[in-house]
Structure 1
Amino acid sequence: MMDDETLVNRIKEGDMSAFEEIMNKYSRQIYLLALKMTGSHEDAEDISQEVFARVFKAVPTWKPKASFYTWLRTVTMNLCIDYHRSKVRHQTQSLDDKDSPIANITTDPSQSPLYNAQADELRRRVLKATEELSPQQRKVFMLCHYGGLSREEAAQIMNCAVGTIKAHLSRATAKMRDLLKDFIE
C-alpha cells in the first residue's frame, strides 16, 4: 500500500483508484469517529460520506500542515460539530412541541424511559453548553474530548503551541463544569 502523500499526488493527477485506496484505508476510522461523536449509525454514515466528498473537492488545493489522516479527522470533527449545532437547534424546536412524535421516542429501548429522558437531557445540555464556549475553546474541547485527539495532535491541527491547547482545554472544562453543575449535582 502506498503512503498518503503519494496517493494524494495521484489524486491530484486525476487517478480515481488512488482516491478509492484512501477511502478503503480510512473509511472505517472516519465512520467510527463520527459514530463516537454523534451516537447514531445513520448520521455517522452520512457524515463519513460528506467527509470524503469534501476531501475529494479539496485535495487539489490541499497543502499539508499535518498528516493527511489528521486532516481527515479535522474535516470529520468539523462536520460533527456542525451536526451537533444543527441538532441542538432542531431538538430545542422539537422538544418544545409536546405533540411532536419525537417526544415519545426513547434512545435505548433496553433502558427505562427515565434513564433515556435523563440521557437526552444531559446530551442536550452538554451540546448547549458547548455553544457558550469561545470558538477556540469549543474546537479544542471537541477535538480532545469527542475526537479523542491528544493535546499534541490538537495543537498540530490548530497550528498552535501545546501550551495554548492546554490553556483552552482547561478553561473550556472549567466553564463546562460551571455551566452543567446544577444538572450534575
Structure 2
Amino acid sequence: MSKAFTKETDRDDDDDVQEAEIPKGIKNYMTVQGYQALRKELEHLVKVERPDVVSVVAWAASNGDRSENGDYLYGKKRLREIDRRIRFLTKRLEMAEVIDPALQPNRDQVFFGARVIYENQNGEEFDITIVGIDEADPLNGKISWISPVAKALLKAREGDSVHLVTPAGPQELIILEVIYPQAD
C-alpha cells in the first residue's frame, strides 16, 4: 500500500503506556531515600542519557536518508522514552511529601517508613518496609503504604494481631517487631 494512504506518526504504540497513577485524594508520601533515588535518576536522564542520545540522533540525521536509518529511528524513539520518564519523575517529585521515618516519635507503632517483622497464621515470618508508591519493590520487601498488607499493619503495635482480607481468605498477622532507622 502506498504511504499516501496510511496514517503514520512519529509515535509508537508503546508511547501510550502510562506510568502508575496515584489515586485521587492520596498523598504521594516518599521516604528520604526514595526521594533521593528519583532525583538521582532524573539528574542522570537530564545530564547524561538525554544529551548522549541527542548527539547520536544529530549524527544519524546528518547521514542523509532518515527513513531507513536505524540509529536515527531508534534514537528518536529513545528520546521520546527519556522525555516521558523525565516528565513523570518531575511531576512525582513536585507532588512528593517526604517523610523521614527516623524522626518517628512513636517507635513501637507501625507508621510510614517502618520496617515490620510479622508472622502469618501458618507461622511464616515476613520482613517488610512500608514505603511510598514509587519506591515499592515487593520482591525486596518494600511494600507501598496503600497496599492491603500495609493498610492492615498501619497503627498496630508490637504484639498486636491484625486482620487481613486476601483472595485466599482472611488471615491473622501477628506483629513481632517494629523497627525504624536511627536519626542521624
TM-score by length of 2: 0.25
Q: Looking at secondary structure, tell me which structure has more strand per residue.
A: 2
TM-score by length of 1: 0.25
Q: Looking at secondary structure, tell me which structure has more helix per residue.
A: 1
Q: Which has the higher contact order (CA 8 A, sep 6+)?
A: 2
